[in-house]
Amino acid sequence: MRIDILTVVPKLLKSPLSDSIVQRAQDNEVVEIHVHDIRKWSTDKHKKVDDEPFGGIPGMVMTIQPILDAINELRSERSYDEIIYLTPDGETLKQGRVNQLSLANNLLMVCGHYKGIDQRLRDHVITMELSIGDYVLSGGELAAAVLTDAIVRLLPGAIGDEQSALTDSFQDQLLAPPVYTRPANYNGWEVPEILRSGDHAAIQNWMEQQAIERTKSKRPDLFEKDS
Ligand code: 6GU
């Protein structure tokens, strides 16, 4: 997979994508991630990328020219499965959407800043709009990092068997069961006996029951909605 990200603050994306599983996936050529500074495409002599909104409202809006030129250059080189705009008024991201996007070959993400991008870009070139939750971030960058991380960890070869993505919370509409490690008794805090029984069928059954109980008590809404 290849992921291109357009932003006016490339530095905000560097660190979250340069460690852990996402970095290892890049090292192993499971994914190529390219972060581009939108300013590079600005034809303005001061490299401006924003302007005042029509209608006399406060704030600044990202202009069409640099973003559209960037998108056109990138899509002349390859075709994108989706051109995703990260915005608080987009569809709320859920695991099902992440799973679907993990099957793409090329994704292009556009991070808005200030009051966002000119609506005409959303009307004519953006193919999907995603939010990561009902709260407002300063820009789409951290949301793009969240989306990228969620996608990349699903790619074949990104994570080892020891942390299989199939046992994650949400992957089967359930939260993950509790986990324990050594020592079995820490100052009187005991690991559940069943996990030490060696009875794999019983352990599997216990974990499923725990997942169901946990979901019922923490997130009953998950039983009603799809992901
Ligand atoms: Cl995608 N962008 C911004 N600016 N804020 C958000 C968001 C995105 N998702 C939740 N809050």
CA 106 to ligand 1 centroid distance, Å: 22
Ligand 1, residue 139: give the atom nearest the CA: 4
Percentage of the chain lying above the pLDDT 90 cut: 90
Compute the mean pLDDT over every residue in the chain, rounded to the nearest whole number.
Answer: 95
Dihedral (C-alpha) 59, 90, 104, 162: value to the nearest 10 degrees? 100
Q: Residue 44 corresponds to which tokens in the numbers above? A: 């303005």
Ligand 1, residue 143: give the atom nearest the CA: 1
Q: Average pLDDT in the 192-216 region?
A: 97
Instruction: Sketch out the chain's domains with CATH numbers.
Output: 2-152 (3.40.1280.10), 169-226 (1.10.1270.20)
Lowest mean pLDDT among 13-22, 50-59, 158-167, 192-201: 158-167
CA 142 to ligand 1 centroid distance, Å: 8
The per-residue pLDDT for 167 is 76
| Distance separating alpha carbons of residues 123 and 116, to the nearest angstrom | 13
CA 130 to ligand 1 centroid distance, Å: 8
- For the segment 21-64, what is each residue's pLDDT rounded down to a tens digit? 999 999 999 999 999 999 999 999 999 999 999 999 999 999 99
Dihedral (C-alpha) 152, 77, 68, 153: value to the nearest 10 degrees? 0
Helix (H) or strand (E) holding 218: helix 200-218
With bands split at pLDDT 50, 70 and 90, how would you rate the model's confidence at 106? Answer: very high
Lowest mean pLDDT among 105-109, 133-137, 162-166, 198-202: 162-166
| Distance separating alpha carbons of residues 2 and 141, to the nearest angstrom | 17
CA 62 to ligand 1 centroid distance, Å: 16
**Predicted structure pTM score:** 0.94
131 lines ligand 1 (CB under 6 A): yes
CA 141 to ligand 1 centroid distance, Å: 8
pLDDT of 227 over the 60 cut: no
Q: Average pLDDT in the 212-222 region?
A: 96
Q: Which of 6, 60, 62, 137 to mutate to test the pocket of ligand 1 (most atoms within 8 A of CB)?
A: 137
The per-residue pLDDT for 46 is 97
Phi-psi region of 56 (alpha: psi -120 to 50; beta: other; left: phi over 0): left
The per-residue pLDDT for 223 is 84
With bands split at pLDDT 50, 70 and 90, how would you rate the model's confidence at 225? Answer: low
CA 41 to ligand 1 centroid distance, Å: 24
pLDDT of 160 over the 90 cut: no
Q: 63: how many CB neighbours lie within 10 A of its CB?
A: 18
Q: Which of 7, 87, 92 to mutate to test the pocket of ligand 1 (most atoms within 8 A of CB)?
A: 87
The per-residue pLDDT for 162 is 55
54 lines ligand 1 (CB under 6 A): no
pLDDT of 226 over the 60 cut: no
Q: Average pLDDT in the 68-85 region?
A: 98
